[in-house]
Structure 1
Amino acid sequence: MGVIARDQYVSEVAFSVRSAQTPPALELLGGISTLGGADTMDAEILYAFLQSSQIVSDINAEIDIKTKYLCPKGTADPLFCLNADATIEELVAYWNRMIEISYESGSGIIELSVRAFTPNEAKTIAEAAFARSGAMINELSDTAQADATRYANDELIHSVERLKNARRLLAEFRNETQIIDPSLDFQGQMGVISSLQEQLTGALIDRGLVELTATRPDPRLDQLDRKIDVIEQQIKLQRGQFGRSDVNDADAYPQLIGRFEELNVDVEFAEQAYIQALANLDSAQAEAQRQSRYLTAHVQPTLAETSEYPKRFLNTLLTGFFCFFTWLVGALVYYSLRERA
């Protein structure tokens, strides 16, 4: 510890994940528990990422941390230096020995302490770890945004096909029945019946007046009777178009109006779905153009002036204590066995 062990310097950095998304208006005691939910999950993912082999491989490819943790030529530190032929698994295990991570679940702040054999190397490694963590958060955000954009585009394509199909069915109905709007046609037919009823009323009044002043036979009465019969037959024919004895008749007005309303509702619903899908796609594309999540450094990577590790006195004291404890247990076992023998 006093002669061979190399001094280790610590660089500290503290950061948290922040979201640029504007949360919706909260209901009273409603969505309060969801505040920071996504940020907290990202922080937990980042906490696990800092201990993974992925970040070790990325940082090693960028600044070659394997070389930085090797002992210089002519020196040997078997306890704290990295072996020259270390595998990636050994490098990951060594990395987890040389860093300390603390995570506060309440605030979402992650504190990272990185040890190295020089102050500049410790700061360089801490900066690389912070930069790679920010890139990983951006990759997660980009992946989520790409998925949201793809789903919104698929929804838009589906809504367009649905709208086309609804409009095609409505056009086929109009082409088949030669009726643009059955409700308007119904109003026209009702106007015809009202006109016939007015004519019938006038003919009945005329017949009554003639009958008061004329005697049989009178050709005017016969003419008015024939007119009344014709009008009544026309009214009966017109009313027969609004309802027939066969309720399953597809040409009856109730069935025509029912089919038209059903098709019209499908078109209106498809139009609303299309407008909503288009708005969702625009929102997803706008969201994808900006960084929705990012790392905020509360403490920038520090540059140490004095070494803090290895803790020579503490390590020596602990080693001596465990050696003495091991010797004591061994001595007690030895004397116990000797007395029994």
Structure 2
Amino acid sequence: MIVNKIKNLRPVFLTTVVIPTLLAALYFGLLASDVYISESRFIVRSPDKPAPTGFGVLLKGASLAGAGEEIYAAQDYVASRDALQALNKDGAFTRAYGTTAVSFFDRFNAGGFHPTFEDLYKYYEKKVSVAHDTTSSIVTLTVRAFTPRDAQHFNEQLLEMAEATVNKLNDRGRQDLIRFASREVDDAKAKSQAAALALSAYRNQAGVVDPEKQATVQIQMISKLQDELIATRTQLLELRAFAPQNPQVEVLVTRARGLSGEIDEQLGLVAGSQKSLSSRAAQYQRLALESQFADKQLASAMTSLEEARNEARRKQAYVERIVQPNLPDDALEPRRLRGIISTFILGIVAWGVISMLIAGVLEHKD
């Protein structure tokens, strides 16, 4: 009786509705494997980065903010080939999704061929998904597997990889920040040492410690000699006026001549020749200025290094788990009844459209 009714159905209805619905019922009812979904949620926090709107405002109130760059880095890594390669270490992922316990239509490499890594990655993209809510900065990691344990296990592994990615970025950022500051300190130390050595070498070569201070001492000495010379000449004038035959006249003349020569010699040491203190002062001041400038650069670089270390501590970003990877106790997919009904409805729609087209063609032909 049923066979006769099926025979009486129009071929179009049979093709678009009956057969697809029967195949859907066969697949969803008998062939499709149960799919278990494990879900976890996490957020990447950083103490000093600006927080977004929404949930991030609450985090900002606690002096913690979402670290946007690290979030996207963790998200991209979980969805990358590197994550799959780490997840499939010793073939763990391939064994879990390629076992014969899984339906032929659902398992990986059901045909028994030699699949490439790209084939595995395409399959991986269908089983692992990462969603980032930009409002709350919460990342949701979802893993689909054919056993509850596999779903939870792979979700936990991927979550640990995300944490390791954030930690690696943190370490690299801190190391780069401190390394650049340390390099500046090393360069400043080298310049300061070179400037100090150049100044010391010039002092040894020129035989001076500080031309300005030495010139001050020399000028004071010349001033005393000039005072003594004036006193001698005054005494000499008095003797020549009142006692020109006094034997002290010659003594005072000789003394005045000696004081005058000594004054000229001391003036020559201060200025007037290439070996004078004044000519040496210009080179000395240039070297001293370079040494002072190098010392200031070194002090500034050391301050920058300390600030870089403090900044590196403040830039610490970390993953905080909001929802741990759950162990599913029921298969949420496939949605068998909905799949069958959807196939039936789509078949009805296709049958109606095709029937109308055929009726229009036949009417036009008549």
Q: Do they superpose with TM above 0.5?
A: yes
Letter in 2 for 1:191: Q
- The equivalent of 1:82 in structure 2 is 108
Q: In the TM superposition, what whole-angstrom CA distance separates every residue of 1:251-277 from its partner, at most 9, and x where no partner exists?
A: 443442232222223334444555666
1:15 to 37, 42, 50: 42
CA distance in 2: counterparts of 1:36 and 1:340, whole angstroms = 75
Q: Which has the larger Rg?
A: 2
Contact 2:39–2:155 at 8 Å: present in 1 too?
Answer: yes
The answer to whether structure 1 residue 61 and structure 2 residue 61 are counterparts is: no
Paired residue type of 1:81: R
The answer to whether structure 1 residue 2 and structure 2 residue 29 are counterparts is: yes
Select which of 263, 266, 269 maps to 2:287.
Answer: 263
Query: How is 1:103-114 mapped onto 2 (pairs within 5 angstroms)?
Result: 103-114=132-143
Q: Quote the residue 2:277 is aligned against.
A: 253
Distance 2:256 2:170 in 1: 81
Structure 1 vs Structure 2 CA RMSD: 4.1
| 8 A contact 2:195–2:287 mirrored in 1 | yes
For 1:38 and 1:256, locate their aligned partners in 2 and report how far apart those are by CA, in whole Å.
62
Distance 1:40 1:163 in 2: 41
Taking a change above 3 Å as real, the CA distance of residues 242 and 106 of structure 1, as seen in their structure-2 partners, is: farther
Q: Partner residue of 2:154?
A: 125
Aligned to 1:27: none
Letter in 1 for 2:107: C
* Per-residue deviation, 1:56: 0.9
1:139 Cα deviation from its structure 2 partner: 2.8
Q: Is the 8 A contact 1:55 1:132 kept in 2?
A: yes
Assess, with a 3 A threshold, how the Cα gap between structure 1 residues 105 and 241 changes in structure 2: closer, same or farther.
farther
- Contact 2:128 2:142 (8 Å CA) reproduced: yes
Q: 1:215 to 1:250 in 2, by over 3 A?
A: closer
Are the structure 2 counterparts of residues 266 and 150 from structure 1 closer, same or farther at C-alpha, using a change threshold of 3 Å? same
Give me the whole-angstrom Cα distance separating, in 2, the residues matched to 1:328 and 1:201: 133
The alignment partner of 1:3 has SS state of helix
2:163 alignment counterpart: 134
2:198 to 162, 169, 172: 169
Q: Which residue does the alignment assign to 2:70?
A: 42
> Runs of 5+ in structure 2 lacking a partner?
1-27, 50-59
1:182 alignment partner in structure 2: 211
CA gap of 1:316–1:223, structure 2 versus 1, over 3 A, is: farther
Q: Deviations over 1:9-59 (max 9, x none)?
A: 221111122347x79xxxxxxxx9xx9899211111111111111101101
Unaligned 5+ segments in structure 1 are 24-31
Structure with the bigger percentage of helix:
2
CA contact (8 A) 1:7 1:310 kept: yes
**TM-score (normalizing by structure 1):** 0.75
Letter of the 2:287 counterpart: L
Fraction of identical pairs, as percent: 23
Q: Distance in 2 between matches of 1:262 and 1:330?
A: 96
- The alignment's TM-score, normalised by the length of structure 2, stands at 0.70
**Residues 45 and 65, structure 2, Cα contact 8 Å, conserved in 1:** no
